[in-house]
Structures are given as structure tokens and as C-alpha cells.
Structure 1
């Protein structure tokens, strides 16, 4: 299954790509998991603190995938099976998270010499350079590692939990409770007004010139459409209607799912929430292009759904990354 773009958006969502079947039916089959791990064709992503080994040559990059016999010990997470029935796992070595690049550096040094440079890298550095298969594998592996690294203990009784179902469940041996990987839904929206201007803003933690669309987490008991309207009203004081879904992509930093919308403003005056927004502006297409060309404004990375929303509104690709 290949997904390279989402209908309605200009260009692909680079972290929403995949070329594997997640093979949920195999997760609970211990015999299948062991046979797959023993198969010499199986390939493993070693993930350490959100990074993996990547081979780069010019503007191209690919994951360094190891056979199981060469993978280090650690928790195993089944990622899925491709169209050729090759199985893929991620391995997170014990105590690796937060230990820096030492483990991956050792693995890189042990690899035979080949074309390109091998180093440890994360999604922010190479996500846009990877192909569909590698991008999907790394997003999946990073998301699972991040969740497992913070859910070693049962939230009910404090006992150490055990990894089950190919890394997709943790079970408490003391009380039998099951705990599943967490995903935090967040809405991200390009707001336009009746003059067809778009709203871009800067958070107080960002340097001058870095602008993006608005975003925020969905609250308990809230619909996505209500979250869009609430977040915009809270952050910049603008009222919006007609929220229209545009696409979604995982953002595993550490566990967000970014759900993209367009929405129409019915008011245009700003009342900024200073802890969230340092400045906000309305831009026509001509004004945004001029600001980009002058260097006054820089846009989010092409890796982000924010960039896709802005370019979809504009009508063509833009330059001026963060």
C-alpha cells in the first residue's frame, strides 16, 4: 500500500507515506513473530532516541536496515510486511533512549564500506529525503519507541509492564491491565478571510520571521471542528466557520497526529493570547510572496503539514524554509 499524497493538498504529506501492511493479525501470533525474526530476509530498524542509521548520498537518503542476526538486543516492535512478504521490525536497545549517538555510531562503524555516508539521523533531518518505505518505517519506529520509553510502568499499580503483541501493547503482570500506544490528536488550520487572505502567526519561542498556521490539541469530549474554532478564538481572537478537512499526518515528536483544516474567518481583528502568540498577520498572496522574497518571513519545513496547507492556499510551491 503506497500513499504519497492526500486529495485536496498541493504535494505529498511527507510523514504520511507508507509502503507496508501493518499486519495486525500477526502481532499476537508468537510463532509467526519468531519465524519472521529468524528469516534472513527480515529487516530491522534500530532506533535510538528518535534516530536511526541513515546512508546519505547527495540529495538522497535511505535507512540502513539490518538483518536480525546483526541487530542489537532490545525490545522488538513489528512494523509490518511489504508486498514481497518481507517482514520489518524495529529494535530499541535497553537504555538506549537519551544515551546519545554512541550505540548507532558503533553500529555504523561495523558496517562494510559502501557508497554514501552513514550516520545517525532523525526525521527532521532526513524525513523529506527518504522514500515511501523508509519514511513510513522510521515514523512508525520513532513513534513506538517514544511511547514505550515513557510507559515502562503500570499507571494503576506501578509494576513494570511487559511488551506484548509485537510491541503494540504493554501488559501489567500484577493486575492484568493492558496499555496501548498513545496518539495525541491536534488540529492545524489555515484560516482565510473573505478577502482571501491567510492568517500566519509566530509563537513567542520562535525567532523573528518564523511564521506558521495555528494549531492546538483536541480536548476531551471535543469534536475536531469545535477544536478548530476554539483554538483560533483562544489564540488570536478570530471567529471562524466552515472548517474543511484537508488531510492528516503523524508528527511523532513525540506522539501527535496533525489533522489539517481550512476554515473561514468571520472576524479579522486580533486579540492575541501572549503566552501562545507573539504576533499575527493577514497576508494576500502578493504580500506573502514579497515577504518571502525579502527574507522578512520564513515558512515551516516542507516536512510539515503546515507548509502543505500554506502552499495549497497559495496555489503553488513556495520557498523560504525555517
Structure 2
């Protein structure tokens, strides 16, 4: 039987985006030469997914080989900005029937009604929209011009009115932290409100943008009003962990993500963590792909990533919405609370996560 994982986090053309978020992690990564050259801040490059194109051959190969080696009910597709890719909807339509859920992460700017109609038709798509605030002040590290921000909000409003399950990924920084109640109230005003996950800005340059110690009170005040905004928020325990991150000044709690999700790139590179691109474990678009995937979960780096206490400097600064998985494994939230998020709500994913936790417990937490 194929080894079970929760999912494949597939990153397509990560160096190409239509926005130039000042704190962009790809622009701070050293995994590949293109990251070190900060190509993410160059004018975006269009690409095409179509029969016979190099991109199609590579991403089809990456997806199929991960599915050959592992049982994965979830596919997450992210970039860059994937809607820069001509024909990306054909890829999503091709993949959707193979998974319980397909998660599509986007900044929303390029998503039109035609995209939304096709995504609705797939029936198992969750849109994760990156947005720090509906107010320009709080979103200005993503979009510096007010008129462009207004255009972005119009596009995201279409998404949130579309009837497609949505999650909002909002980076907490010294600007967006000022807008927490207003942003949550705005999100709560939609007929089918999304779930809003605020999380700290990350990366080597994060100190330039981070929530200042004197601003943590804004998060505390927001958590104090949790019941007012509960309809759009993850479990309250999420915010207890978030506040502990800020009060300690670093991550002090365990991460279980690498035991559940593999991270792949459209060029074939595999790395053990979707949050931080630590190391190139090899490629899966070459004949040695089986050897590369055999490393998943078994290299020395995994021992460090899954340690009871974070060992690596990069891990100390990491907290993301994926953390609800770790909270479930650490008995900080229930399976029902975890699976209230659209990403994990399908019953086969619930069962997979419950089984994975049982295996973890039987293995004495290893």
C-alpha cells in the first residue's frame, strides 16, 4: 500500500508574481539560484500550461509521481501567482477529480468570473486568498498604491461572493495589526464568510515589518473580542498559541507539518517543509525520482524539523495557518475544531488525520 500523507504542496513558478510584496518569502529564500537573485521582484513572466508545453510536462509529472508514491487526499497549488499561468484552469480541472480537496492559493487580483465559474463546477476547490487587510493601510506592504489596492479588493469581493469555500491568509505586521477588528468585521459581512487566519510575518527580513512589542496589545484586545468575530476565526486556542509566539519572541512549540505534507516545485525539486524551503532533496522529473521520494520523512533534517522543541533558527520564527495540524497532534484542539476549516472538512481527510494521529500516539510521539 502507498504510504499515507495528507497532501502535496505544489509550488508552480514561484519566482513569477503580479504583486511585489515587500516581505515576500520567495525573495528571501536561498533554496535556488533564482531565489537568491530575487527574481520574484522582476516583472512577472507569463507561462502556459497546455499539451506539449514544458510546464505541463513537468507539473503533470510531479503531481502523478507524488500520487504514485503516496496516498494524498489533498493537493495545494500555489506560486508565485498561479493565475499568471495561461491554461492553469485546465491543470486544476485535470487534478480535481483525483483528490478530496484542491486548495488554490492566490492573491486574487487575476481571478475573474470565468475562473470562479469553472472552480465552482469542480466542487472540491478551496480558495486560500492572501490579504492582510481590506484597508489600504494594513495591506500596503502587499500593494503600495491605493488605486491598485481598491482594484484588488473588488476582485477579492467577487471571490468571497462566489459561493466557493474560502480561507483568508493574513500576514500580521506593524501595519495590518492595527486593522484586526475592522478586517474581521468586514469578512463577517459576507453571506458565506471565509475563515480568517492571521499569522506573523516570517523570514530573514521580518524584523523590518514585524509587530512591535508595544503593538501586541492589539492582538490581545482582538482576542478579548473573540466571540464577536468567532464566525470567521479558527479555534480560540489558535490565538493562544499565536500570543505565546509573540510573548516568547519565538516559536517554542512542536511542529508536525513535515510528517503530513510534502512540498514540491514545478521544476521537480522536493523539499521537506512547505513553510520554509530548507533543502533540495532532489528532483522527481528525472529517472531517480523514486530515490528522491524515498527520502521523504527519512532524512536527518526531518529529525530536526520534527523535534519536540524547534532546533533550527528558521523554525524559531515560523508560525502559519498550517499550525492547526500541529495543535491537533498536540491535543490543543479537537478534530472537529481542526476540520471546521474548509481545507480539512471532507470526511476522508478527517479519517486520514485521525488515523495519522493514532499512529503518532502509538509510536510514543515519534
TM > 0.5 fold call? no
Which TM-score band (shorter chain)?
under 0.3
Write 1 or 2 for the structure with the bigger share of strand: 1
Write 1 or 2 for the structure with the bigger share of helix: 2
Normalising by structure 1, what TM-score? 0.26
Normalising by structure 2, what TM-score? 0.23
Larger Rg: 1
